[in-house]
A and B are shown apart, each in its own frame.
Chain A
Amino acid sequence: MVALSKDRPRHTSQAPQAPQTLKVLWLVLVASYFVIPLLATAVFSLQGPHGQYSLAAFTEELSKAAFLRSFLLSLRLAGETIVVSIVLMVPTAYWVHLRLRRARPLVEMISFLPFVVSPVVLAVGVENVFRKGPSWFVGSPNVLVAVYVVLSFPFLYRALDAGLRSVDIRTLTEASQSLGVSGPGTLGRVILPNLASAILAGSLLTFAIVMGEFTISSLLLFNTFGVYIDYVGTNQATGAAALSLISFVLTWIAMGGIALALQRRGAGRQFMIGGR
C-alpha cells in the first residue's frame, strides 16, 4: 500500500512536466521576439548625447507644442472616426443580422476590402473622389475621418458581428416590440446596451489604428501623430524612440480595454447558452 501511494504521485507529477517546460520555453521565445526590440527602443530612448541615461528625450518631446498639436489632432480624429463608424455600422450590422441574413457573406467580404486595397491607393482614391468637395472637409484633416472609417470598418464590423452573434437578436427585438417599443427605440433601448462591450472593443481598435496611422495622412499632407513621429525620427532618433514608446503605451492601454470588454462579453455568451 505504501509503495503504491508513493509511486502514484511520482508517476502523475512527472508525466506532464516535460510538455510544461516546453510550453514555458516556447512562451519565453515568443515573448523575446516582441520584448527585445521594445527593450532596445526603451534603452535607446533613454540614452543622452554623452552616453548617460536620462528621461530628457521624453520630457523634451512632451514639452513641444508640435507634439501636443499632432497628438490632439489624432485624438480628435480618432474620436470623430469612432462616432461616425458607430453611427454607420451599428444600425447596418443590426439590420443585416435581423433582416438581411443572406447579405451577411457579402458584407463580410466587403469588410475585408480595406485589407486588400493598399493605403497608398486609398489615399489617391480619396483625393480624387473628394477633390470637388467643400473646403472645410477636403482642405482640412476632416477628410481623414472618411478614410479612417473605411480603414476601421473590418475591425468594428467584426466586433459588432461577434457581439450580435452572441445574443438572440431576433427574439430580443421581438420581445422589445411586443412590450411597446418601436424599431429605432429597440435599437437604442435594447440592442445597444447589449452590444456595449462589442462596440467598446471595436472602438478601441479604431482608436489604436487612427493614433498610429501614417501613410494616408502623410500622402494627404496632414500632420497627425504618426507623421510627427516620423518627422522627429529624421531629426532626433532618441526623440522618435521616446514617442514610439508613448504611442506603444497608449495602444496597450487600448488593448487592455479590449481584453476587459471581451471578458464581459464572455459572460453574456454564457447566458445565451441557457443559463444554469
Chain B
Amino acid sequence: MTRMTSLVLDGLHKSFGSVAALDGLQLDLAPGELITLLGPSGCGKTTALRIVAGFQGPDAGSVILDGRDITSTPPNRRDMGMVFQSYSLFPNMTALQNVEFGLRVRRRKAPERRTRATNLLEMVGLPHIASRYAHQLSGGQQQRVALARALAIEPRVLLLDEPLSALDAKVRLTLREEIRRIQLELGITTLYVTHDQEEALSISDRVAVMAEGRLQQVGTPREIYSAPANDFVAGFVGLVNRIPCKVTHPGSGLVEHGKARLRVPGTTDLPVGANTEILVRPEALVPIDHGGSPDSQTDESTLGGMVVASSFLGATTRLWIHTAGGSVVAADVPSSKGAQWMAGTAVTLRVTPGAARIVNTSKPGEPPDSQEQAPPSPGSAKSRPDQRREHLTTARG
C-alpha cells in the first residue's frame, strides 16, 4: 500500500544565469495531501518540481522527505513517481510492459508484476489496451498509462508536471477528475504543477500560487479565490475587476468611483483623497435594474453604467459595462437572464457586501501603480478595456 509521506521544500533557490527561477521557496506537504504549484510560464513551478524529482539541484535550500534530507540523492533513488507534460511512454514497450517497467527494475517476480500492472491499468480505466504500443494510444490514454506506470512502483510522492496540458478540453476535464479520485483512493502525497487556475482550484487540497520564483500565497482553493493575499493572486486566479477609486471617508470605509460611493474594508489608515483600486470578482457585481440614466446612482455600494457588450459562457453570460466613473467592468449573470441586458442598456450594479478588496493605494494626487507592483495579470478586466472589447462577441444596440 502507499506510504503516507511528508515533503518539505525548504528555502529553495535556483538561478539560471542572472535569472532567479526560485527565490526562497518554502512549502510543506502533509501526508496524503495534493498541493498544486500554480503560476504563469517562467514562474519557477516546473523548476521546483524538477528539484523535488532530483533532475536538477538547487543553488541553496533542501528537499526533505519524511524528515530526511534527499537534496543530493539521485533521482533513481528518491522513490518518486512522475508524470510528465510530454508523452513519456517507452515507445518500444506495450502499455502493460511500460507499467511493469519500474517493478522489473525492482526485480519483482513476473506474476506479481503482471497482477499489479493489470490492476493499475484497470484503475485508470484501460484494461483493454494492455498490449498496445504508445503510438497506438491517444494522448489521454498515454497519460493514463503514464500515471499507472508512476503508481506501479508505490512511490512515496507523486509528481505531476502539467500532465493535462497537451490534451483537448474534454479529456482534460475527465482525466483531472480521475487523477484526483485515484490520489484520494491511494492517499498519496502529490505535488501537481499547472498554469491552469481552474485545474488547480478543482483538484487541490491546497494551491500554492507562484510568481517570479516566489510563493505569493498558499491556501485552500476557496481561500485563494475569495481572499487573495495580494494583487497578483487576485489577478491570476479568476477574472477580477479593478476599479479605480478615491478615498473619501476612511473612518467609515467609503471610497468614490466617479459619483458612486462604495463601502470597502481596510480604509481606516488611508489618507483622505488617496487614489486606490478595489478588486471585485464579476460574480460579485449584481445587475439590479435598468437604472434609468447611466449616471444615476440609486444607493451606496452601487455603480451606474451602460452595458457595452456581452459574452455567452454557457451557464452564465458575462456583461461588459462601462461605468459612469469611466471604467469597463465585467459582471456575470445567469444566462437565463442575460438576454435582458442588451448592449446599450443602462444598468445599476450592486457590489456584494464584503466582496470588494482594496489594493494599490498611493498618495493623494498620484495614480495607483498596480501594474508596476505586480506581474501582468491576465485576469484583470480593467487594465485595457478597449483591447479587451475587440475580443468580445458584441451585441451592440
Contacts and interface: CB of A to CB of B under 8 A. Distances in A.
Interface string B86-124: 111011100000000110011000000000000000000
A254 B255 CA distance: 83
Given A268-B135, A274-B166, A275-B138, A177 B92 contact: no
B134 A271 contact: yes
Given A171-B88, A174-B55, A275 B76 contact: no
Interface residues of B, number: 37
A175 interface: yes
Contacts of A176: 90, 101
Contacts of A275: 87, 134-139, 142
B80 interface: yes
A172 B90 contact: yes
Interface string A14-44: 0000000000000000000000000000000
B76 A182 contact: yes
A167 B153 CA distance: 24
Contacts of B88: 168, 171-172, 174-175
A179 B105 contact: yes
B254 interface: no
Interface in A224-276: 267-268, 270-272, 274-276
A175 B82 contact: yes
Interface string B267-309: 0000000000000000000000000000000000000000000
A271 B105 CA distance: 25
A194 B101 CA distance: 15
A267 B138 CA distance: 15
A151 B150 CA distance: 43
B151 to A, nearest CB: 11
Contacts of A179: 76, 81, 101-102, 105, 149-150, 153
A175 B134 contact: no
A146 to B, nearest CB: 32
Contact of A174 (B84, B87, B133): B84
B101 A168 contact: no
Contact of A271 (B84, B102, B135): B135
Contacts, number: 92
A74 B284 CA distance: 83
B53 interface: yes
- Residue picked from B79, B80, B88, B166, most chain A C-beta under 10 Å: B88
A194 B142 contact: no
A52 interface: no
Contacts of B159: 178
B24 interface: no
Nearest to B90: A190
Interface in B66-89: 74-82, 84, 86-88
A178 B151 CA distance: 11
21 contacts: A167-B91, A168-B88, A171-B86, A175-B82, A175-B84, A175-B88, A175-B149, A178-B53, A179-B149, A180-B77, A180-B102, A180-B153, A181-B105, A190-B90, A193-B90, A194-B92, A271-B91, A271-B135, A272-B87, A275-B135, A275-B142
Given A181-B76, A272-B91, 14 more contacts: A167-B91, A171-B84, A171-B86, A172-B88, A174-B88, A175-B82, A176-B90, A177-B55, A179-B101, A180-B77, A189-B105, A275-B134, A275-B137, A275-B138
